[in-house]
Amino acid sequence: MSGKEVFYQGNEACAEGALYAGCRFFGGYPITPSTEVAELLSRRLPKVGGAFIQMEDEIAAMASIIGASLVGKKSLTATSGPGMSLKLENLGFACITEVPCVILNVMRGGPSTGLPTGPSQSDVMQAKWGTHGDHPAIVLTPASVQEIFNETVRAFNISERLRTPVILLTDEIIGHMREKIVIPEKGELEIWDRPRPDCPPEEYLPYDTSKGIVPPMADFGSGYRFHVTGLNHDASGFPTNKPSLVEPEEERLMAKVTENLDMIEKYEYFQKDGAKVGVMAFGSSARSAKAAIKQAQEEGIPVDLLRPVTLWPYPEGPTIEMAGRVDTIVVPEMNLGQMINEVQRCIEGRAKVVGVNRVDGDPITPENILQKIREVV
């Protein structure tokens, strides 16, 4: 990748990635450890003709980005666990109304106020199931500062193309760590915009899927007048409770994700000949896992690694593949065992699954993981 080399913090990389993707609106409410995103964008957005607003709370921040997106602006909000809890109601609104937007959750310890400056990975299930009702979830978990930049761009791209909110799930460690990264030249990374209608305004139906699973989306104020509601609605956007319309709508929201896995799924997988152990790790725990695997290798223990970059939908295929090769899968995560359930669900007993867990505010170390690897071989 050509481009400008910079020494960036993870949160800064998210803000810069957002600008690169074309984000022109940020609505937020300060919370550690995500605040740098708001601070940087309050400086940078007006320079590019965008808008920054510090709202009265996270509920309002989430609402404001949906409002701005309806006017056609790519929009971002950034928060941490307690704020994410507040955003969930309106996250569901963005799901059912199909309004693109990106939400960064820099995870910290919890529940409640928890550990404001301590890292955690305990919002992974909230990211999938937090808001009420059945709904799709697209959640990306970068593990380095460069990846935060790139995945932020990808989050906007997916969000626009599928008209759905996308969650970026990082944690205090990578949010605050600094690394050298390359900011790609303009045009180097592809930027996608939402599908917009080309029919005459009188014919526009905001949820008409006759030409594809993702309906074109007009900007408020552009001459296409339409209605948006969080109620179940028909193709015209107006409320309906007809079973024959409600169920297909719900199923289509899910299908936008399941039928576009090629675009959404991303993971790193490496297999070592003769491995009896595999590790499934994501985000900052994956960094420790890589160090642990390297050390294990030096001790003569080959280990497979699966690192989901897209956490939801979870990469089932690669997990099953790994389970077919190894006897045991080690799942290190900074929570008391959330993703481990997903691994178990996928592999249906094809391998043993053991966790390495920590919720004391300290990262899971390579040593923690190595010890478990040694234990299971």
Partner 1 sequence: MAFNYDQYMRPGKLPHIWCPGCAHGTVMKAIIRAIDRVGLEKDRTVIVSGIGCASRMPGYVDFNTLHTTHGRSLAFATGVKMADPSLNVICVAGDGDSLAIGGNHFIHACRRNIDITMIVFNNNIYGMTGGQFSPTTPHGRLASTTPYGNPDYAFDVAELSMGAGATYVSRGTVYHAVPLERQIADGITHNGFSVIDALCTCPTTYGRRNKLGSPIDMILWFKDNTVGIKAAQKLSPEEMEGKILTGVFRNDIKPEYCEEYQKIVEMAQGG
Footprint on this chain of partner 1 (rule: CB under 8 A) = 24-25, 27, 43, 46-47, 49, 51, 53, 55-57, 59-61, 63-73, 75, 89-90, 93, 220-223, 225-231, 238-239
Q: How far is the CB of 10 from partner 1 (least distance, A)?
A: 24
Q: How far is CA 20 from CA 36, 44, 150, 152, 187, in A?
A: 17, 12, 10, 9, 9
Q: Which is nearer to partner 1, 89 or 265 (CB)?
A: 89
Distance CA 18, CA 376 (A): 42
Instruction: Tell me whether residue 73 or residue 154 sits nearer to partner 1 (CB atom).
Output: 73
Beta pairing class for 101-109 and 74-79: parallel
Q: Where are the beta strands (DSSP E) in 160-216?
A: 165-171, 178-184
Q: Is the Cβ of residue 163 or residue 358 nearer to partner 1 in the bound state?
A: 163
Q: Name the residue nearer to partner 1 (CB basis): 43 or 180.
A: 43
- Tell me the closest approach of the beta carbon of residue 355 to partner 1, in angstroms: 37
Name the token pair of 226.
Answer: 């339409």
Q: Whose Cβ is closer to partner 1: residue 23's or residue 169's?
A: 23
Residue type, 222: S
Please state the closest distance from residue 126 (CB atom) to partner 1, in A.
18
Measured distance between the N- and C-terminal CA atoms of the chain, rounded to whole angstroms: 39
Give me the least distance between CB of 94 and partner 1, in Å please.
10
Dist. CA 342–CA 319, nearest whole Å: 10
354: helix, strand or coil: strand
Task: State which residue, 47 or 186, has the beta carbon closest to partner 1.
Answer: 47
CA dihedral 268, 269, 270, 275 (to 10 degrees): 140
Cβ 224 to partner 1, closest distance in Å?
8
Find out whether 101 and 75 touch, Cβ atoms under 8 Å: yes
Minimum CB distance to partner 1 smaller for 12 or for 304: 12
Cβ proximity to partner 1, 97 vs 144, nearer residue: 97
Closest CB 223 distance from partner 1, rounded Å? 5
Q: At what angle do helices 58-70 and 81-97 cross, to 10 degrees?
A: 30
Q: Are strands 115-119 and 310-312 parallel, antiparallel or unpaired?
A: unpaired
Nearer to partner 1, 201 or 212 (CB): 201
As measured in angstroms, the least distance from the Cβ of 202 to partner 1 is 12
Output the CA–CA distances (angstroms, integers) from residue 295 to 144, 268, 315, 325, in the order listed: 20, 19, 26, 21
Closest approach of partner 1 to the CB of residue 177, in Å: 28
Integer Cα distance of 347 and 32 in angstroms: 36
Q: Which long-range contacts (CB under 8 A, 24 or more apart) does 56-60 make?
A: 56/29, 57/29, 57/86, 58/28, 58/29, 58/31, 58/83, 58/84, 58/86, 58/87, 59/86, 59/87, 59/89, 59/90, 60/27, 60/29
| CA–CA separation, 103 and 168 (whole Å) | 6
Phi, psi of 104 (to 5 degrees): -95, 125
Q: Which is nearer to partner 1, 58 or 333 (CB)?
A: 58
